[in-house]
Amino acid sequence: MFKWIEHLADWLVFEVLNLQKEEHLAQALNFFIYDSIKILLLVFVVIFFMGIVNSYFPVEKVRNYLSRKKLYGFEYFMASLFGTVTPFCSCSSVPLFIGFVKGGIPLGVTFAFLVTSPLVNEVAIGLFIGLFGIKTTVIYVISGVLLGTISGIILQKLRLEKHLTPWVQQVLENSQKETEKFQIEQTSFKHRLPSIWKESKAILRGILPYVIVGIAIGGLMHGYIPQGFFEQYLSKDNWFAVPIATLLAVPMYSGASGVLPVVQVLVSKGIPLGTAIAFMMGVVGLSLPEAMMLKKVMTMKLIAIFFSVVTVCIIISGYIFNIIF
């Protein structure tokens, strides 16, 4: 789907700017151009689509449906499962997070999606089967879905809605007013589009600086941090290797397809599979660029709580993998 963006980034960096592929600057710049275009396109498409959905479905109706007790937590599982079929990295999942919150979906359910989406997708599954076999892949997929589900339930129980930023609160308020207006006036789809388009552009302008800065940080890390940098800290006999691997992964930024070959190398050099997978989950599911983007929609306290809960769940998953394998 995004091959044309990849070709465009390669052309700009390696032909127009005449940089060499081996240069750190070239790798960082290529990453920045590719991810900027891809993520901003995803942002706008998702925001616009969710704007259409929100204009037809009242926020309260969606919220009430997903909050019914008879679901018994199934909504968290479904959101986590939905995350497995979205081929997004942690940063490109943020636009969907905004759309979910804007649509009145409970915060914990939204978090369940946000956690699972970058960890488990068709690309990661395909690579996992090729690198580690079917058994390991099945266990990884199940653990990824459970990680998202459990994290979502915990975060929902903490009632963290008050820690969303005023900007998000304003977006929610405006969305509710527009929906009520459309329903009262029975506005046709054609006449709803200008308002939806206007609101989508306003949201995009609001998050644009955070997205750009986040991708820039990710690009610098991608280009300048060598792949073997963290191997010295993940020795086989170190009981604290799993939490260390998870915490050391946070400054890095990559999708599952980029970090899985590194995981294979770590395992081949004697690092336990659970430790290596905890490192991968940390790289993919927790990153400074993601935190930077989330800062537009969450207070620092909420970001800290979100990262803490997911970190603990990843560490537990790492230990379980080490016990099994």
Determine contact, residues 87/128, Cβ cutoff 8 Å: no
Determine contact, residues 117/86, Cβ cutoff 8 Å: yes
Closest by Cα among 293, 58, 307, 299 to 169: 299
CA dihedral 114, 118, 123, 127 (to 10 degrees): -130
Please state, as a whole number, how many other Cβ atoms lie within 10 Å of the Cβ of residue 324.
12
pLDDT tens for 151-196 read 999 988 888 878 887 877 676 666 555 555 555 445 666 676 777 7
**pLDDT for the residue 59:** 46
Query: In the structure encoding, which two tokens stand for residue 161, read together?
Result: 């809605």
Return the bridge partners of 298, or none: 164
Query: In the structure encoding, which two tokens stand for residue 246, read together?
Result: 């998870």
Closest by Cα among 157, 153, 150 to 119: 150
Query: In the structure encoding, which two tokens stand for residue 169, read together?
Result: 């609160």
End-to-end Cα separation, the chain, in angstroms: 36
Whole-model pTM over 0.75: no
**pLDDT for the residue 11:** 92
Q: In one letter, which amino acid is 94?
A: V
**Residue ranges in the chain whose pLDDT is less than 50:** 59, 184-185
Dihedral pair phi/psi, residue 8, rounded to 5°: -65, -45
Please state, as a whole number, how many other Cβ atoms lie within 10 Å of the Cβ of residue 316.
15
Residue 83 CA to its chain's centroid (Å): 9
pLDDT tens for 271-309 read 888 888 898 888 888 877 777 777 777 888 888 898 899
Return the bridge partners of 164, or none: 298
CA dihedral 135, 140, 141, 143 (to 10 degrees): 130
Alpha helices in the chain (DSSP H): 3-10, 24-56, 59-67, 74-84, 90-102, 107-119, 122-132, 134-157, 166-185, 189-224, 241-249, 256-268, 273-285, 288-294, 300-324
Determine contact, residues 106/160, Cβ cutoff 8 Å: no
| Separation of alpha carbons 233 and 218, rounded Å | 22
Query: In the structure encoding, which two tokens stand for residue 131, read together?
Result: 């690198």
Determine contact, residues 111/155, Cβ cutoff 8 Å: yes
Which string of b and e fits 270-294 if b means at least 16 CB within 10 Å?
Answer: ebbbbbbbbbbbbbbbbbebbbbbb
Q: What percentage of the chain has pLDDT greater than the value 90? A: 5
**pLDDT for the residue 177:** 56
Q: How many degrees, rounded to 5, is the angle at CA 236 between CA 231 and CA 241?
A: 70
**pLDDT for the residue 135:** 87
Dihedral pair phi/psi, residue 297, rounded to 5°: -110, -15
| Separation of alpha carbons 161 and 165, rounded Å | 9
Determine contact, residues 297/164, Cβ cutoff 8 Å: yes
| Separation of alpha carbons 164 and 294, rounded Å | 10
